[in-house]
Amino acid sequence: MKISAMKKFKPVFYPDSVAVVGASKDARKFGYLCLKSLVNSEFQGSIYPINPGSSEILGLQSYPSIKSIPAKVDLAIIVVPAELVPSVLQECSHKGIKGAVIITAGFKEAEGFLGAELQDEARHIADNADIKIIGPNTFGMFNTHADLNASFTPLLSTMPQGDISFVSQSGGMCHTVSYLALDDGIGLDKVLSLGNRCNVDFADILEFLGEDLHTRAIAMYIEGIDNPRSLVEAAKKVVRKKPVVAYKIGKSQTASRAAYSHTGSLAGNYELYDAALRQAGVLMVNDSVELLDTAKALAFCPPAQGRRIAFCSPVAGPGIVSADCGQGHGLTIAEFSAATREKIEAILPPRTFRMNPLDMAFARDLDMWQEILMTIINDPGVDAMLIFFVKQEFFDSIIGGVVELLIDLLKTYMKPIVMCLISPRDIFVKEKAKLQKNRIPVYQTPERAVRALAALVKYSKMRQSSGIQVLQAQPTDI
């Protein structure tokens, strides 16, 4: 009988108890930072610092060895020098530990043979004992839904819960994406760097995240893959359940060499990987901002029934930009029905463009917004809406009402609504948070909004044409 990926990875991502092997009082050491991360994330299970020389670290009782822990342990975070890792894994095996995050570097990615040998030894022990290893050579991982920050970056303990998971071959890219999410005011679900992928690779994690109900969208950053076929096969299955977005590098030879030295795998032929992943239904992006933007739209929005977009903006220029940019990304500018046009012409004066992209410069009160947007979302020729709002004093009084209106429209009509909020970041913070909490993704520029919406449309279309009922997030799920 096949064991579910959830069962295999539960000790890693949802542990009841965690040991930090190599915990330290020295604030500059990984052993300190990892323990601090765990404590800061308010992990509710047991935490066991392991250090033969201390009896207490960060206020927690410390143990000289794994075997001296007087209870069951699910996960070991390992930060001891590479040479000691195999023996630590032996101890884990004897203790019945089934999950390990090996932060330590100096394995397959290092110059010379020793590192590769150590990694082989570690894998051998782990495989025999059914231990799933994240790493080695990783910043670690975190799972907001388990209050678990098993990384060397305590700051990431502040990450709110969210429904986008990110699996990466680089800790630096985990930081990049996580910090973008923090700035954006959205949370993330699970974020992990696979590092050298000792016995856990992209395919395994994809399968697990496919089963994990907290994850609504999966983002990936890929350098080199040893077993592309298994990734493609896993992706094919997972995209039937939830969207997968990937950022694959390795177009350049030199970058590919550096990637080998980074996590021990050649980046391989970029075009082949790109084509195979696309064919598997993975949405490919070329930019870290776009990676998160796209995952956000996919995680938040209901599916789009088609590509016909209504662009509605109180500032004409950005509306025009988005319509222009949208056509370049496969969206079409919805043609309003005669009835819709008639209604809009009755509301707005003939001083602006009253077709799509609609110029709402003269819609200064909430009633006009309501009438116009309800008319448009009701139009059977409109599959999704991109709504703009701009920080200008004469619109300040209606922002609260516009937020409520959009949330209502989304719930009533179940067509995707995306907002482009043209404003300094420290203004409309609450309004933005409310929109995003209610599954209306918000972006700061027209191009970012359009690219994310285009990916949403593409995924929705793919799911439609594969004949499978779309399982994307529904606002009613909240």
Footprint of a copy of itself on residues 294-323 (CB under 8 A)? 313, 315-321, 323
**Nearest alpha carbon to residue 216 among 328, 297, 334, 327:** 297
Question: Judged by CB, which is closer to a copy of itself: 129, or 180?
Answer: 180
Q: Residue 202: which region, alpha, beta or left (left: phi > 0; alpha: psi -120 to 50)?
A: alpha
369 binds a copy of itself (CB under 8 A): no
Q: What Cα–Cα distance (Å) separates residue 459 from each residue in 59, 225, 266?
A: 49, 24, 29
**Among residue numbers 24 through 43, which ones bind a copy of itself (CB under 8 A)?**
27-28, 33
Which of 109, 207, 293, 379 binds a copy of itself (CB under 8 A)? It is 109
Q: 405, 167, 364: which is closest to 263 by C-alpha?
A: 167
Mark residues 319-358: x for contact with a copy of itself by CB under 8 A, - for none.
xxx-xxxxxx----x----------------xxxx-xxx-
User: Which of 27/338 has CB closer to a copy of itself?
Assistant: 27
| Least distance (Å) between residue 463 CB and a copy of itself | 26
Minimum distance, C-beta of residue 261 to a copy of itself, in the bound complex (Å) = 4
Q: What's the CA gap between 80 and 86, in Å, rounded?
A: 10
Check residue 81 for interaction with a copy of itself (CB under 8 A).
Answer: no
Q: Which amino acid is at 233?
A: E
173 sits near a copy of itself (criterion: CB under 8 A)? yes
Stretch that binds a copy of itself, among 174-182, 233-241, 301-309, 429-437 (CB under 8 A): 174-182
> Binding pattern to a copy of itself, positions 196-235, x when CB under 8 A?
-------------------------x-x------------
∠ CA 68-73-77, nearest 5°, is: 95
What does the angle CA 220 – CA 127 – CA 78 come to, to the nearest 5 degrees? Answer: 70
- Angle among Cα 184, 436, 387 to the nearest 5 degrees reads 100
In the region spanning residues 119 to 148, those forming contacts with a copy of itself, defined by CB under 8 A, are none
Residues 257-276 that bind a copy of itself (CB under 8 A): 257-259, 261-262
Paired tokens of 73:
């342990």
Could you say which of 62, 149, 170, 196 contacts a copy of itself (CB under 8 A)?
Answer: 170
Annotate 100-155 with DSSP letters as a single string: EEE----STTSSSSHHHHHHHHHHHHHHHTT-EEE-SS--EEEEGGGTEEEES-GG
- Contact flag: residue 448 with a copy of itself (CB under 8 A): yes
Number of residues that bind a copy of itself (CB under 8 A): 83
Q: Shortest Cβ distance from residue 41 to a copy of itself (Å)?
A: 15
Distances (CA, A) of 242 to 213, 387, 463, 464, 472: 10, 25, 10, 13, 6
374-433 residues near a copy of itself, rule: CB under 8 A: 388, 390-394, 422-425
